[in-house]
């Protein structure tokens, strides 16, 4: 019982959010929409409701005039899996998927008229999954073929989220060419990042479907999807298994991951901590005392994990300093020697031109 | 003449005060035609704020004014508007007194030349009379104070007004004949913006003329006087620069002020010719062209000195105009200063050939500057070429104006000595052509 109770305190989050972004438009980028929709399906299946998912798709493939099978988006050839379905809720569609909107969603700086479905209403106990796919390069990700978001902007947005206490832990997955460059610049705590390829490598697509005429999925997301199909809400699979997904033999590119900013050991992080919204509910008839033992275990657990000082949110305003501030004084004054020299010169010039006879009027 | 001058001064002060209180003040203060990186008020305030924070104002690329300006405004910053209004009034009064004296000198010289029979017999209509010269000083003060360029420059609180004031005092001191004061004021003007160095030549010529020293290269008294004046000027300049060192205990101000003026690193658009050229130039040519452009300002001094050695005040006017056209960061305040002198040469009106079209060009360009700026920067439907075209046209207008006055002046001098009705050898009417 105590073990199960202790597991309750393991991860520290109380709600899950997902921000899934596909940044490419045009029919031949079908696979990016399929990528995002596959992750959407998995995340919904594992329990995150639509109200906690912000889905941004830059183009509409299901109703594209070139789609031979309208109202469907397939992720596997021979049309095995339709990831579009009946209950897809796209929050940002078509031209609304811009760098500005994406950053506004992340940082919460949204105009008051935005509907709830378009907001990321996370708090400091939220675990957020951010999945991005599209075309990218070394240090940037292309949006809509007209603008880019850089890794620095993304890192700064995450820092804003940290300072505004908008996440507990963040998992960032990116499936683009040279994806590892996007997580290079992160500097906020509690972020774990995965990418489909290293800097200098391209992420490749999986397989074309001759019926639809385009590539249906990217390799990395295809194998991640296969991996996620095995996960159910009660799985104990941890992040280390996710890091092993799609080795170079299958993916041709080398997937990368970054865990140095993350407080917990990836071994102890469940997949469902990010991909699902898992509530462990056990109905008992006995009372369990949680005060001493579990707290003791918790502190022991904390001591093991956090050898360094626990993270604190920065003090937003140094109130004590502000209320006792004295008014600013002008600190600089011209040196006395300068003033003396200047006025001596001026007086000399005056007397040289007007004659010495005026001196007696001065004294 | 004091009462009309006082009236003019009051009117000017009222106009400026009214504009200070209106919303136009902020709009004018940020116009690039009025405020350049050298003399913008925003930068003076920024420099003083940096000083209060304990940082040298010359440490960045913000502040390019001299330490004496820091000293002046450290105590007077709350009364800045008053300071600039008083500066403008002082400039106008100085110009008024200078031109009054100059008219007396001109008249005396004219009388002397008539008595010496140097003038041709039929030039009675060309000779200036005291009647028509009576109102010229007032007109000069009026032209300076109520010129829209001056008013805008004052409302924008650009330190160009201070530079104009120092140059006006220099002109007053020169015309009064005091070599010492003239050297001191010229040193102050050069200290603030480098280009008044070229005014050394006309001032020297005027003072030599006043002392009746003939301008011959072999004459010993000529060289003696030149050396005296030059040493006065250089000593004052050195003393002022050394004094400025003691303000901040560093020589930082020299690259910030003079290095900035000479090397033109800031290419913000203005009404001058430097910015566009250097914006599109390759790096390895920029040093060469900077040298060429800067030499262009100083280049006209010697030829003009040779041609205009009998008329140093006109030389001073042309030199002032050349400085304000070709300097690295011109503003309309500089234009206003030489335009104030135009009433002095109003007797040349009958010889000016293009005055109508040139005044139209200048007025239209002044109106087109803000229009094309708006189209370029805000509407986005024009580009820098449009604004540069207006800059070019404005400067061409100014250059043609000056050369027109130059031609008219020389033509009048020729007519004075050779008579109004020129005939060729065979007796037919001849035309005077400037070669």
* pLDDT of res. A203: 87
Number of domains within chain A = 1
Q: Do A338 and B181 touch (CB under 8 A)?
A: no
B247 to A335: CB separation less than 8 angstroms, yes or no: yes
DSSP string, A65-80: TT-SSTT--BSSGGG-
pLDDT level of residue A303 (50, 70, 90 thresholds)? very low
Residue range B341-349: average pLDDT? 91
- What's the mean pLDDT when you consider all of chain B? 90
Dihedral (Cα; B389, B394, B399, B400), 10-degree rounding: 100
Q: State yes or no: is A63 an active-site residue.
A: no
SS3 at position A230: coil
Average pLDDT, stretch B161-176?
Answer: 95
Q: How confident is the model at residue B54 (pLDDT cuts 50, 70, 90)?
A: confident
A332 and chain B in contact, CB less than 8 A: yes
Element (H, E) at B243: helix B220-248
Give the integer Cα–Cα distance in Å for B21 and B378: 26
CA–CA separation, A42 vs A225, rounded Å? Answer: 8
The answer to the question of residue A2 being in a domain is no
Confidence at A281, pLDDT banded by 50, 70, 90:
low
For an interface test with B, the pick among A331, A335, A338, A344 (most B C-beta atoms closer than 10 Å) comes out as: A338
Residue A300 above 50 pLDDT? no
Cα separation values, A289 from A5, A238, A298, Å: 10, 29, 14
Judge whether A177 lies within some domain: yes
Give mean pLDDT, residues B326-347: 92
Over residues B236-256, mean pLDDT? 90
Q: Nearest by CB to A331, which of B52, B243, B246?
A: B52
Higher pLDDT, B105 or B125: B105
Which member of A22, A52, A177, A206 is catalytic?
A: A177
| Contact status, residue B318 vs residue B402, Cβ threshold 8 Å | yes
pLDDT for the residue numbered B403: 94
Give the model's pLDDT for residue B257.
92
Q: Could you report the per-residue pLDDT of A61-99, keeping only the tens digit for each?
A: 999 999 988 888 988 766 677 888 888 999 999 899 999
Which of B262-266, B348-352, B361-365 has maximum average pLDDT?
B361-365
pTM of the complete model: 0.64
Residue A41 CA: distances (Å) to CA of A88, A128, A362, B156: 9, 16, 95, 63
pLDDT(B284) > 70: yes
What residues of chain B lie within 8 A of the CB of A349, using their CB?
Answer: 180-181, 184
Query: Environment class of residue A325 by beta-carbon count within 10 Å: exposed (0-12), middle (13-18) or buried (19+)?
Result: exposed
Asked whether residue A188 is assigned to any structural domain, the reply reads yes
pLDDT score, position B358: 95
Average pLDDT over residues B90-96: 95
- Does residue B307 surpass a pLDDT of 70? yes
Q: Residue A295: is its pLDDT beyond 50?
A: no
Three-class secondary structure of residue A57 per DSSP: strand
In a domain, A324, yes or no: no
CA distance A240 to chain B (A): 51
| The pLDDT of residue A305 is above 50 | no
The pLDDT score that the predictor gives to residue B204 is: 93
CA distance A318 to chain B (A): 21
Residue A232 has a pLDDT of 86
Task: Give the pLDDT band (50/70/90) at residue B324.
Answer: very high
Question: Within an 8 Å CB–CB cutoff, is residue A328 touching chain B?
Answer: yes
Measure the CA angle with vertex B411, ends B405 and B412; round to 5°: 90
- Cα separation, B413 vs B106, whole angstroms: 13
Give the range of the structural domain holding residue A103, as residue numbers without chain letter: 12-275
Stretch A90-117: mean pLDDT? 92
Among B272, B263, B256, smallest CA distance to B294 is for B263
Per-residue CA distances from A195 to A19, A252, A349, B207 (Å): 16, 13, 77, 81
Nearest-CB residue to B243 (from A331, A338, A352): A338
Among A302-311, B5-14, B264-273, the minimum mean pLDDT is found in A302-311
Place of tokens 């001056």: B150
In this prediction, residue A312 has a pLDDT band, given cuts at 50, 70 and 90, of low
What pLDDT digit, counting tens, does each position of B287-299 carry? 999 999 999 999 9
Query: What residues in B contact A331, CB-CB < 8 Å?
Result: 52-54
Whether A22 is catalytic: no
Between strands A92-93 and A53-57, the pairing is parallel
Q: Determine the angle formed by the axes of helices B160-176 and B80-115, rounding to 10 degrees.
A: 30
pLDDT in tens, A42-61: 999 898 999 999 999 998 89
Question: Tokens 């104006």 correspond to what residue?
Answer: B401
Question: Could you tell me the CATH number of the domain that includes residue A49?
Answer: 3.40.50.1460
Residue carrying structure tokens 């032209």: B143
Contact A330 B239 (CB under 8 A): no
Residue A264 lies in a domain: yes
Question: pLDDT digit string (tens) for B369-420?
Answer: 999 999 999 988 888 999 999 999 999 999 999 999 999 999 888 888 887 7
For the beta sheet containing A140-143, the strands, ordered from the edge strand earlier in sequence to the opposite edge, are: A136-137, A140-143, A147-150
Residue A308 inside a domain? The answer is: no
Say which residues have a Cβ less than 8 Å from residue A22's Cβ, sequence separation at least 6: A32, A33, A35, A36, A56, A57, A58, A59, A97, A133, A134
What is the share, in percent, of chain A residues with pLDDT greater than 90?
35
CB contact under 8 A, A349 and B180: yes
> Which residue reads 């305030």 in tokens?
B45
Distance CA A172, CA A179 (A): 11
B57-78 CB burial, b ≥16 within 10 A, e <16: bbeeebbbbbbbbbbbbbeeee
The per-residue pLDDT for A304 is: 45
Question: What does the pLDDT read at residue A350?
Answer: 85
Q: Give dist(CA A130, CA A155) in Å, integer.
A: 13
Which chain B residue shows the shortest CA-CA distance from A344? Answer: B243
Higher pLDDT, B213 or B434: B213
Tell me phi and psi for residue B228, to 5 degrees: -60, -50
Residue A42 falls inside a structural domain: yes
Q: pLDDT digits over A237-269, tens only?
A: 889 999 988 888 888 889 989 999 888 888 888
Lowest mean per-residue pLDDT among A164-168, A312-316, B412-416: A312-316
Q: Say if A115 falls within a structural domain.
A: yes
């Amino acid at each position: 019982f105590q073990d199960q109770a202790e597991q309750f305190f393991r991860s520290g989050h109380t709600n899950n959010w997902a921000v899934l972004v596909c940044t490419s438009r045009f029919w031949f980028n079908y696979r990016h929409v399929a990528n995002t929709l596959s992750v959407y399906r998995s995340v919904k299946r594992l329990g995150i409701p639509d109200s906690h998912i912000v889905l941004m798709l830059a183009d509409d493939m299901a109703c594209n005039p070139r789609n031979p099978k309208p109202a469907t988006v397939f992720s596997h050839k021979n049309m095995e899996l339709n990831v579009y379905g009946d209950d897809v809720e796209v929050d940002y569609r078509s031209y609304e998927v811009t760098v500005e909107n994406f950053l506004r969603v992340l940082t919460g700086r949204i105009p008051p008229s935005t509907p709830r479905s378009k907001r990321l209403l996370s708090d400091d106990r939220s675990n957020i999954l951010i999945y991005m796919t599209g075309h990218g390069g070394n240090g940037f990700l292309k949006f809509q073929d007209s603008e880019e978001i850089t890794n620095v902007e993304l890192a700064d947005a995450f820092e804003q989220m940290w300072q505004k206490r908008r996440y507990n832990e963040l998992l960032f997955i990116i499936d683009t060419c040279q994806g590892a460059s996007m997580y290079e610049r992160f500097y906020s705590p509690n972020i774990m990042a995965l990418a489909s390829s290293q800097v200098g490598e391209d992420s490749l697509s999986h397989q074309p479907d001759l019926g639809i005429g385009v590539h249906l999925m990217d390799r990395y997301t295809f194998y991640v999807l296969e991996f996620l199909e095995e996960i159910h809400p009660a799985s104990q699979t941890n992040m280390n298994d996710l890091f092993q997904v799609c080795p170079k033999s299958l993916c041709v590119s080398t997937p990368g991951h970054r865990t140095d900013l993350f407080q917990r050991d990836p071994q102890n992080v469940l997949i469902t901590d990010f991909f699902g919204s898992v509530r462990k509910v056990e109905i008992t008839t006995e009372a369990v005392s949680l005060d001493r033992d579990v707290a003791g275990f918790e502190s022991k657990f904390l001591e093991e994990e956090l050898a360094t000082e626990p993270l604190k949110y920065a003090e937003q305003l140094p109130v004590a300093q502000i209320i006792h501030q004295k008014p600013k004084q002008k600190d600089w004054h011209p040196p006395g020697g300068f003033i003396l020299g200047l006025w001596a010169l001026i007086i000399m010039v005056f007397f040289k031109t007007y004659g010495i006879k005026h001196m007696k009027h001065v004294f | 003449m004091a009462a009309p001058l006082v009236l003019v001064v009051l009117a000017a002060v009222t106009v400026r005060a009214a504009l200070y209180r209106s919303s136009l003040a902020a709009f004018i203060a940020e116009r690039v035609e009025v405020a350049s990186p050298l003399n913008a008020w925003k930068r003076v305030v920024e420099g003083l704020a940096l000083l209060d924070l304990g940082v040298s104002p010359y440490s960045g690329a913000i502040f390019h004014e001299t330490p004496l300006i820091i000293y002046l405004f450290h105590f007077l910053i709350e009364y800045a508007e008053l300071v600039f209004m008083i500066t403008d009034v002082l400039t106008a009064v100085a110009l008024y007194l200078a031109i009054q004296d100059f008219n007396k000198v001109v008249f005396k010289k004219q009388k002397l030349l008539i008595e010496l029979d140097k003038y041709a017999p039929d030039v009675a209509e060309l000779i200036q009379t005291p009647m028509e010269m009576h109102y010229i000083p007032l007109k000069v003060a009026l032209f300076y104070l109520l010129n829209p360029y001056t008013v805008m420059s004052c409302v924008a609180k650009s330190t160009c007004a201070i530079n104009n004031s120092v140059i006006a005092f220099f002109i007053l001191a020169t015309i009064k004949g005091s070599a010492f004061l003239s050297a001191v004021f010229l040193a102050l003007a050069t200290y603030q913006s480098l280009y008044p160095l070229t005014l050394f030549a006309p001032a020297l010529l005027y003072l030599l003329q006043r002392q009746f020293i003939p301008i011959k290269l072999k004459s010993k008294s000529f060289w003696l006087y030149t050396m005296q004046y030059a040493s006065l000027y250089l000593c004052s300049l050195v003393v002022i620069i050394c004094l400025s060192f003691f303000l901040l205990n560093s020589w930082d101000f020299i690259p910030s002020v003079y290095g900035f003026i000479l090397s033109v690193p800031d290419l913000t658009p203005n009404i001058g010719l430097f910015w566009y050229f250097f914006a599109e130039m390759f790096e390895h040519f920029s040093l060469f062209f900077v040298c060429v452009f800067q030499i262009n300002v100083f280049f006209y001094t010697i030829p003009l000195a040779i041609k205009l050695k009998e008329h140093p005040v006109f030389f001073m006017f042309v030199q002032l105009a050349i400085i304000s056209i070709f300097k690295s960061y011109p503003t309309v305040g500089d234009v206003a200063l030489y335009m104030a002198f135009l009433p002095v040469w109003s007797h040349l009106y009958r010889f000016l050939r293009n005055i109508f079209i040139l005044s139209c060009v200048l007025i239209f360009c002044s109106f087109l500057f803000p229009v094309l700026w708006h189209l370029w920067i805000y509407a986005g439907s024009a580009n820098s070429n449009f604004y540069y075209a207006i800059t070019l046209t404005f400067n061409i207008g100014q250059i043609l104006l000056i050369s027109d006055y130059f031609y008219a002046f020389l033509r009048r001098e020729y007519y004075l000595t050779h008579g109004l009705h020129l005939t060729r050898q065979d007796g037919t009417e001849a035309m005077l052509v400037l070669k």
